[in-house]
Structure 1
């Protein structure tokens, strides 16, 4: 909101805000949406209030407080935001934030709405009396594939109404995001701008792209402006879910009386009169479990409160019938790529903090991992979300630091219980019989000389005889098949391929394409993924590319 052109009397409102600040007026309180319980996709919107009137240093506002408020939301141990929507930003403030956020993986886009050198008092000026550029900004974490600056001006506004937008890969999925600041001084103009924005968002959604709109919309939830975005479930005619529309603590009396599950309401975000002007809208067809909160006002940062939202992708949840590929990124986040005919589905984030795990393997829907101290852990999937966290894990052993390879072959010894296989640094292969619960019996030596392999995988039944097998790649790139005998051992090896040294990672995720046969996946030096469809007879079809952009060094399993 621009207080110098506020709704109603600007002077009176400015005075009341100043008084509220001086008296320490109560600020919004965050609800139950916390980093530990929120969905995997994280968004933040914040009107920074520039650095001039009304948020001047003389009134206690500082750039340092603004920067800290924003950067703190990117902490990996905190909110860990994926996208940050900023309004009323001075160009120099954007430049400073860009420098601080770049090492965290963010890319930004800024657009000016008030040019350098005008008489505007929105941003601090230089010694020559000129004033700094003022405008809008957006930061996204992930690869940017497209950008746009939407001109939402309809005529009659005192300055251009622009929305910087970026199309980027958020947790591996492409989506459009726009930072929004609609006109503050005329409801009819604001309504027209909202319709213009909603029309462009509909185009992107029609192309299959998720859309997130965050910002200061300068209107209350029950206005015509907001109706362009809220979905029918909340009484609007749009296609979005707003972060706070399910928070019953802030429902209107009409919504409570009607027993509604969605309401055009929410925590207030602005001024001593406590109005909700700031929103995070997420396209309803692409996101689920959308929740939001408003943080307590950051002293010295802005006259607006920060709003946050968390959500999940609409198609993510417990694993389906097909097997999956898992990836751990450089930050320790865990992603599941469900198999489908012809390749892999879009990723679902299913865990954080996995960077401490040295070795990880799939054992059905459970993950088995060894941490830095050599402790073995079993992580059953959360039955409702499909995620993996410390809340479900069970310790299954110690001393596993002696092994440099961990395999989960399934039932390798024929007793109906899932086993593990480890290779120690001397090349000795060990079988750890499963006890059918969460532990493993005393290990049994089942081979020597396995140090010749720079990659080992346990594909399950690769030859169609119902018994678990092993596959190894030697340092010359030759691929070898070890036919399991169903009693804890295997037949002499058989060569099944050459030239496999081109892959920096070799994975046996199970049946990826749903044909009932175990497959192989390789990652090449260009970070592309290749699928080798198993034929159920210890061989495979010619490779097919199923992905790109899987960085070398990231764990695949």
Structure 2
């Protein structure tokens, strides 16, 4: 998570009031697992290294395993409750990924959807990842795709993002793969952008370029991640296809939430139905280490492939949540 956010930020609004896209004034709509559109997504910065697990004092190996299992069980419950088609994770320790992978594998999912997965390491070792696996402390990203064998073989790619010379920054990557998505094939990507101003401005355009040039025959794209920047900032112009200065190809799942339009002066018109805004995904409610509330986590969808996007950031309770970020979930219908 970034040390400081760089834009005007509004207070956290209640979860659940969302809008459907249209040509007239926006209409509020409550999004629940029962009412959401059929194609479902999750993006989640799980804080695998910096958020300590609550091991008992002088915990035995069995107690540690039980604590890890409880975290994984809570996360899997979120995946299942949303009936997610794609799940994109950031700040994930390798040992943590293995436990999630095994929990979502067909052998453990009798009568329930299983998931295929790809992993990408940004760091060979990260302080804090030993709480998940003392012998392998790799740190990175992962994609989970609903359905056994749903990741298209040999399509996984890991690309390291550019850095600003002279800045002491952490390696950042974009992880992509082609996956089955509700009966079609899509390019799925996830990333975690560096928080330094100069590096963010350098890395976001590169991600937009990599995601677009890597897709085949105009196939749909789902891009998720922690971008360490708020929606209205100019750094996000290469992703959005609307708003001042935008040059991108994407819509974002939570861009229709009128309760959040107040944070972006571009959206003051009462007829606005799409706005570069959205509910906060990093807040003091999740973690006392968070200096300011802000939306920095995203689910971007190809505008030409999806319609009626919906999204929300789930609530969390400081000290008892799965992460120091809010879990972002989104849904959409196919455009064609």
**TM-aligned CA distance change 1:101 to 1:27, over 3 Å:** farther
Name the larger-Rg structure: 1
> C-alpha separation between the residues in 2 aligned to 1:126 and 1:235?
43
Equivalent in the alignment of 1:252: 262
**TM-aligned CA distance change 1:181 to 1:140, over 3 Å:** same
Q: Deviations over 1:347-387 (max 9, x none)?
A: xxxxxxxxxxxxxxxxxxxxxxxxxxxxxxxxxxxxxxxxx
Answer yes or no: is the 8 Å Cα contact 2:95–2:129 preserved in 1: no
The alignment status of 1:276 with 2:295, answered yes or no, reads yes
Choose from 135, 142, 145 the match for 1:140. 145
Equivalent in the alignment of 2:203: 193
CA positional deviation for 1:57: 2.8
Q: Deviations over 1:379-423 (max 9, x none)?
A: xxxxxxxxxxxxxxxxxxxxxxxxxxxxxxxxxxxxxxxxxxxxx
> C-alpha separation between the residues in 2 aligned to 1:232 and 1:308?
21
**TM-aligned CA distance change 1:169 to 1:54, over 3 Å:** closer
> C-alpha separation between the residues in 2 aligned to 1:65 and 1:277?
27
Choose from 89, 93, 102 the match for 1:90. 93
Equivalent in the alignment of 1:45: 43
Equivalent in the alignment of 1:524: none
The alignment status of 1:149 with 2:158, answered yes or no, reads yes
5+ residue gaps, structure 1: 9-24, 316-557
**TM-aligned CA distance change 1:235 to 1:110, over 3 Å:** same
The alignment status of 1:294 with 2:291, answered yes or no, reads no
TM-score, reference length from structure 1 = 0.48
CA positional deviation for 1:30: 3.7
Q: Deviations over 1:295-340 (max 9, x none)?
A: 111633111000001001111xxxxxxxxxxxxxxxxxxxxxxxxx
Equivalent in the alignment of 1:100: 103
CA positional deviation for 1:63: 3.6
Moved more, 87-96 or 230-239: 230-239
Q: Deviations over 1:158-204 (max 9, x none)?
A: 232112211011111010111110002x1121121110110122224
The alignment status of 1:309 with 2:330, answered yes or no, reads yes
Answer yes or no: is the 8 Å Cα contact 2:163–2:202 preserved in 1: yes
**TM-aligned CA distance change 1:28 to 1:124, over 3 Å:** farther
Answer yes or no: is the 8 Å Cα contact 1:63–1:301 preserved in 2: no
> RMSD value over aligned CA atoms?
2.8
**TM-aligned CA distance change 1:312 to 1:202, over 3 Å:** same
- The size of the alignment, in residue pairs, is 288
> C-alpha separation between the residues in 1 aligned to 2:132 and 2:180?
38
The alignment status of 1:70 with 2:91, answered yes or no, reads no
Q: Deviations over 1:492-513 (max 9, x none)?
A: xxxxxxxxxxxxxxxxxxxxxx
The alignment status of 1:33 with 2:31, answered yes or no, reads yes
**TM-aligned CA distance change 1:122 to 1:309, over 3 Å:** same
> C-alpha separation between the residues in 1 aligned to 2:56 and 2:198?
33
TM-score, reference length from structure 2 = 0.77
The alignment status of 1:167 with 2:178, answered yes or no, reads yes
Equivalent in the alignment of 2:62: none
> C-alpha separation between the residues in 1 aligned to 2:325 and 2:222?
20
**TM-aligned CA distance change 1:28 to 1:213, over 3 Å:** farther
> C-alpha separation between the residues in 1 aligned to 2:74 and 2:182?
23
Answer yes or no: is the 8 Å Cα contact 2:187–2:215 preserved in 1: no
> C-alpha separation between the residues in 1 aligned to 2:52 and 2:246?
34
Quick one: higher RCO (CA 8 Å, sep 6+), 1 or 2?
2
> C-alpha separation between the residues in 1 aligned to 2:259 and 2:13?
16
CA positional deviation for 1:125: 4.9
> C-alpha separation between the residues in 1 aligned to 2:168 and 2:210?
20
**TM-aligned CA distance change 1:218 to 1:233, over 3 Å:** closer
**TM-aligned CA distance change 1:237 to 1:59, over 3 Å:** farther
The structure with the greater share of residues assigned to strand is 1
> C-alpha separation between the residues in 1 aligned to 2:71 and 2:198?
32
> C-alpha separation between the residues in 1 aligned to 2:96 and 2:131?
12
Choose from 4, 9, 18 the match for 1:7. 4
Answer yes or no: is the 8 Å Cα contact 1:110–1:136 preserved in 2: yes
Structure 2 residue matching 1:268: 3-state secondary structure: coil
5+ residue gaps, structure 2: 6-10, 18-29, 58-66, 107-112, 285-291
> C-alpha separation between the residues in 1 aligned to 2:75 and 2:257?
24
